[in-house]
Amino acid sequence: MSDLTALSATQLVEGYEAGSFSPVEVTRATLERAAEADARVNAFVRIDGDEALEQAAESAGRWQRGEPAGPVDGVPVTVKDILLQRGGPTYRGSWAVSDAGPWDEDAPSVARLRESGAVFLGKTTTPEFGWKGVTDSPRHGATGNPYDPSRTAGGSSGGSSAAVALGAGPLSLGTDGGGSVRIPASFSGIFALKPTYGRVPIYPASAFGTLAHVGPMTRDAQDAALLMDVITGPDARDWSQLGPAPHSFRGALAAGAEGVRGLRIAFSPDFGGRVAVEPEVAAAVRRAVELLTELGATVEEADPGFEDPVEAFHTLWFSGAARVTEHFSQDQRESLDPGLREICEDGASRSALDYLAAVDVRMALGKLMGAFHETYDLLVTPTMPGTAFELGREVPEGSGMKRWTEWTPFSYPFNMTQQPASSVPCGVDGAGLPIGVQLVGPRHADALVLAASHALFEAGAADRVPPPIS
């Protein structure tokens, strides 16, 4: 990576303040990198070069006057094409979405970034309506892995993970309804946080209900904390948002590697033997756990002890998908991803009583995890049981699986419980494909999850070779 595209958001802001370089220089370099990344892996729905340069010039003027608009003034950001960004269509990966506007609203997190002076590079790819754990759609095609474009970047925020990994902006906004920031973060070698539900306001409300979270996708936990300080600002359009965060998320990282000393951490390597984890993944995750012990945490192997809630998740998820497409015409339905069409039909066949039974499972799981965290501050698991597989498939070839939920057992349970969870890069397999370790905290403990993740970065757990750009 060139010097400017390799810098973190934190380093960019420090450079602007010192006058070492300008937002215009950074934006030009990052736009060039975005075009290269898009050519390599299909990370973008669109790149807004002229608009980004205009925003960068305005930011440069503010920095020259010593009047930055906010903590990320002049920092290039990308936005998953599920979230509204005024001035252009939000296609959500679907031919069923028309170009016709008006496209005159920002999602809350986008609005907070705009107020803070961020430079918007463009919109990143997503599967249709973010329905699955890989990123391909009938409208925009498939997004490849930054380390091997013949493999998937993961999903559903795969475009964002690929953009961040390849230097096309240090900050991206993703969404996560069943693992959709953590899955691609693990596959692409970056950091991601699914915050506690309601910590980042959402509008319009997701059809997937309170499973869907907005979260930061960055190269490290420090940048994620910076982004969280911006996007957690209140927005009256979200009736389910939490109150203001009690403290700065960046401030929570001040202890560095000391941030885990004294924590009680449960390590569940395979959910009590229920999940088959690839040996190289298991070994890399265990090394990260050993680092936590060396940093002063008390770690013991302990499993939360819940049954796989996948059927309840399917009821909630498939019903949400059916709701998205409820009013589609026959032509619109025929344009859908065949897998999405299948789950919509499944969801439409489920009753209100089925849905409420799934809610009961969800509540019981939340109660169980609440009790678990009375003993343990954090739960650590692999983010994914394996590394990135073949591009353009919902499930690994030859696996015998049908749906994406079968290979993501560590992610979707914590959407059901609304807990904060991060994915920290912790190594690569023999093919050079990234591996992630997941840190899960009790509800509202976002700062703790970020602090422990940052401690792993400080201790070197996430040292990696950047992916090739050409």
Indicate which residues carry an active-site annotation: 80, 156, 180
Taking the C-alpha atoms of residue 214 and residue 219, their distance in angstroms, rounded to an integer, is 17
Taking the C-alpha atoms of residue 84 and residue 82, their distance in angstroms, rounded to an integer, is 7
**AA letter at 121:** L
Taking the C-alpha atoms of residue 150 and residue 153, their distance in angstroms, rounded to an integer, is 9
Taking the C-alpha atoms of residue 189 and residue 424, their distance in angstroms, rounded to an integer, is 8
Question: What is the number of residues in the chain?
Answer: 470
- 168, 170, 171, 176 alpha-carbon torsion, rounded to 10°: 80
Reading the block at residue 447, the tokens are 């700062």
Which strand (E) or helix (H) includes residue 142? strand 141-142
CA distances from 446 to 155, 418, 422 (A): 22, 11, 9
| Residues pairing with 95 in the sheet | none
Taking the C-alpha atoms of residue 17 and residue 341, their distance in angstroms, rounded to an integer, is 50
Query: Strand 171-176 vs strand 148-152: parallel, antiparallel, or unpaired?
Result: unpaired
